[in-house]
Chain A
Amino acid sequence: MTRPFRNGVILAVAAVIALTAGAWWAIRDTAPKQAEALFALSLPDTSGTPQSLGQWRGKVLVVNFWATWCEPCREEMPEFVRAQQELGPRGLQFVGIAVDQADKVGRFAQELHLNYPALIGGYDAMEVSQGLGNRLAALPFTIVVDRQGRVAETHLGPLKPNQLRAILSDLL
């Protein structure tokens, strides 16, 4: 085998491997992710009672990672309260996972008249969010799960009300 020919073969093989890997990544990225890691979480609420996220299986579940020290998080939450009030009867369930201290979360939840559960999350919860696309472990991060337990949407940063309503209208 001449050297140029051998080099050509090596390049061709490398190209095939790269294309296959690329295709695999593309498929992997577009395939709906299961929310099992979310459902497996059990986190304390503001009174310290453990709450399993599995209890909301079968609903359209919006899991919002937030904190009181995160102003953009706080700004989007009144819209979540409105959506929960309005669309809750149709099977929508918001759950907030606060990366924060329980007393601050409780105080803010009262001020906002939060009408959905506020759970307290730590590393486990943030690792789940990272596994579902929150690469920088930043806040706010929102995961929307359909009734079949598939991740329908993930969103880093505040959700605009019309974005939220568009996502939910497809699922409810």
Chain B
Amino acid sequence: MLCIALLAAGQGNPLPPDKAFRFSARMLDAQTIEARFAIADGYYLYRDKVHFAVEPASAGLSVPPLPEGKVKEDQFFGKVATYRGDVVVTLALKDTKPGQQVVIAAESQGCADIGLCYPPTVQRVTLALPEASIIQNTPSVGAKKPWFN
């Protein structure tokens, strides 16, 4: 078992997308959320494939313009911006109730420098809005989503 774990950790094995593009979110205050992608070395995300949503939608998510990223010229798509390292986006909720639970769904799509790309992936984090300064943070990997958008 240890051998398998060591082999799996080897550089030759690409990471699953939720490990390559690890998503987390935390409440900064009752209406503000810090959303973060921690992108593993050797991997990158496409800026225009990063999308956020809140469940229930009635909580009213406000997403600011995303960080610029590094722009490169793509032969087919023209200018394409990508992210490496950490990407932090401050999200706002417009209509919430104290103690309410919300789920932040973060969709992303990216590639690995070794020459692999992943289909779009949705990761979800459940947050409990503060009632008596208690904040929960339970990440989970998202379910199926269309293979293209």
Contacts and interface: CB of A to CB of B under 8 A. Distances in A.
Interface of A: 67-74, 99-101, 108, 111, 121-123, 126, 136-140, 156-158
- The 8 A-B residue pairs whose C-beta atoms are closest, nearest first, are A70-B117, A72-B115, A99-B147, A158-B115, A138-B116, A157-B115, A100-B148, A139-B117
Contacts of A71: 74, 111, 117
A86 to B, nearest CB: 24
A116 B17 CA distance: 30
B46 A136 contact: no
A126 B121 CA distance: 14
Contacts, number: 63
11 contacts: A67-B117, A69-B109, A69-B117, A70-B117, A99-B147, A100-B148, A123-B144, A137-B118, A139-B116, A156-B116, A158-B115
**For B77, B111, B146, which residue has the most chain A Cβ atoms within 10 angstroms?**
B111
B76 A137 contact: no
Contact of A108 (B76, B114, B146, B147): B76
Interface residues of B, number: 21
Q: Is the interface of B mostly helix, strand, loop or mixed?
A: loop
Contacts of A67: 117, 119, 148
A136 B147 contact: no
Interface centre among A68, A73, A126, A139 (most CB of B within 10 A): A139
Contacts of A108: 76
Contacts of B144: 123
Contacts of A122: 146-147
Contacts of A138: 14, 116-119
Contact of B114 (A100, A126, A137, A157): A157
A14 to B, nearest CB: 13
B16 interface: yes
Contacts of B118: 136-139
B148 A136 contact: no
Contacts of A137: 118-119
Given A71-B117, A100-B148, A111-B76, 14 more contacts: A67-B117, A69-B109, A70-B111, A72-B111, A99-B148, A126-B147, A136-B14, A136-B116, A136-B118, A138-B14, A139-B119, A156-B14, A157-B114, A157-B116
A68 B111 CA distance: 13
A119 to B, nearest CB: 13
Contacts of B119: 67, 99, 126, 137-139
A157 B114 CA distance: 8
Interface in B48-85: 49, 74-77
A15 to B, nearest CB: 14
